[in-house]
Structure 1
Amino acid sequence: MPTPDELAARAIGERIQNIRTRTGRTRAVVAGLVGRSEDWLRDVEKGRLQHPPGLEMLLRIGQALGVRDLTEITGDHELLVGISRRAGHPVVPAIREAIEGVDLAAVPSPINPTELAARVDRAWRLWHTSATPRADAGAMLPELIRDGRRALRTLDGPERRTAAAALSGAYALSEQVLAWVADAPLLWLAADRCMSAAEIADDPVTLASAAWVLGNVWRSTGREEDAYRLASDAVELLEPQLDGDADAQALWGACQLHSAISAARMGREGDALRGIDQAIGMARALPAGSAHPWTLFGVANTEISAVSVQVDLRKSGGALDAASAVDPNAIPSVDRRARLWLELSRAYAQQHDWLGTLGALRTGTAVSEESMRCHPLARSLAAELVPHGGRLNERESRALAGRLGVTA
């Protein structure tokens, strides 16, 4: 790792590249987060742009890289601009206030933990069924989090554990809503509080669910090995609960998928495929119509994860073959349905099939434009399409990039 003195002599582009590689972020992800193409970011890092990025763009790059202040990029110690609080969606500030805030006021009325749990379940259903999941489910979260925290202050015994499980579910949904649109510290805080509430609930299924959430954050911040071990620990925790407990069975399968995706990101093909095989076996054994309310684990979600694993292993042909077995209409989550088409677009892009990439990305955007606008991979692919798709695709590629908020 370069020393501060070595970094001091480096240009801005070199600093960006060093921070990006040190933190395990790919050009595709960072470029997608700032709404530009991977080639553009490469030119920034190599100092090839005729007009270097301005302050606003440097702020966006800094947010994507998770730096504490802009001097880490500029080297200008007179310019101190804190940029750690990111809000890439209108729901983020209110959720942040609920998570970070401290409420010491007396609780005005008793909170029924069973009703709280039902409200959290409704929010999860909205997340899965809405075409604008962040806007709709995210609007419910601030009050749910506040009520859950108040319940923990006033309840005890079994009622407190029920409230803790519900609060863990609210924090878990916050992680889903905040992913890619909030800064890493807020995601970490949501995941940590999800686990803390699960520990109070003292229930294996809730603890495994929280591990699933925390593993998502670890994997998205470059800690794939930690995420893999955590998912494996959750699988082991659930083993004694599998006999006749559909929620435990579904979480066991979801954690197998979690470990499979983490293994694929690390290039461990055998572990990744083993996790998919374990999950599909459990999915087919579950009672018809059963699904864990958070993960919606089942055959359809397992098939989508099989596509993701093949793409992450850079086996685009295998990804397209796996996708051919998926019935999009059987996917119970709108966001996950859009993700299927995003994975397909990634597979086509690996083959430089830009017409296929455009078609899959357009379909995913039609399923949930919000989901695609918020995902850095979708934005990066949209940006890549414009210069690489050829004149046949250029007009529609630019239109799609505009819909996703990308300047190509």
Structure 2
Amino acid sequence: MASNKEISRAGFLARAGAVGVAGAMGPLLTGGGARAAGAPGGAGSPVSEPAPGRTGGRRGLTYRGVSYELIDGETPFTGWDATRMRHDMRAIKDELHADSVSVFGTGVERLAATSTEAAERGLHVWLQPRLADVPQPEILDHLAETGRHAERLRRQGAEVHLSVGAEFMLFVPGIVPGANAVERIKNLTSGHYDPKTLVRELRSFTVRAAKAARSVFHGKVTYGAAQDEQVDWKLFDLVSVNYYASFARRAEHVRALSKFRRWGKPVVVSEFGTCTFRGAPERGGMGWDVVDYDREPPEIIGELVRSERTQAAYLTDLVDVFESMDLYAALVYQFVTPDAPHRHRPRYDLDMASYSLVKPIWKTPEEPTAHWHWEPKEAFHALARHYGRARC
């Protein structure tokens, strides 16, 4: 199994891999469409959205939020911690002024604890288990257990949607050859896979994941797809896309996102973001790939220039696009990356390669202690102003 660092970094490669796969196999990936058992109103039926993006008669996004990852961490101090999590949920609600949070990662207990804390603070919750590189039955069991907790929250009155996962071709064994996500990425990008097998296995697992979710959860269900991944959206209530595009004009973003409306269902930007250096938006989902992790300590490659302003401008411009399109929800990737500290020496400033809205400050240059903290970036403040205005 790949390390947590490998999985986290590899996740962004889905955009590159999916582009190559979808372009060659679009006709195979679309069409057909097994229906998930137990879907509300009959599986595959569109969810009614009387006025896309409306909240109390206002147009724009219905939900504005941020994703929050649950990880084991590279050190004893950078993994998930209940006290830190509660502090972060308070900041997301009261300082970022988000009304929604995507809780994703592994471990049913910490998924449950984090989503419960978010719900108790009045946040809308997107709950997404993301177990990787284990046998498919374990992934489905992990999904079902998470779904049971989501259903308990829903019955208690919380606003909660369940996502069955993200970018299955990378993280689920048996769809693309490879023992872990890193190997699958290499096989995808080098063409070492069988397109027909990929389509068949991806479709089969997606159907099984949708059924597993529907069997325990009776709210809205979705899936976090890569931007060019072809999905049978009849299985789901919401169309969700992880969006890392960079265009010179807003009209091009509108054109790229409009194609997701054709299923007649609410459209969710389940991830969007950029790193913290000049030119990062143009690198899209590959922005993280500017670190030499073979060195000790890891180093930034080349002469990158840190730019919190670049990140802030990209995020606020995209939120304006999403608002103008009345999309259902948008969730920026992501709140914090504890293992990517901000350092004053640019060569070791790993936060430049981070998509997070806050920068981790370690107490020592070499490694964090229990007392490390984060500080908001310009993007945090820019989004807080935008989200705050929307809540008024």
- Please report the TM-score for the alignment, with normalisation by the length of structure 2: 0.28
More helix by percentage: 1
- Please report the TM-score for the alignment, with normalisation by the length of structure 1: 0.27
More strand by percentage: 2
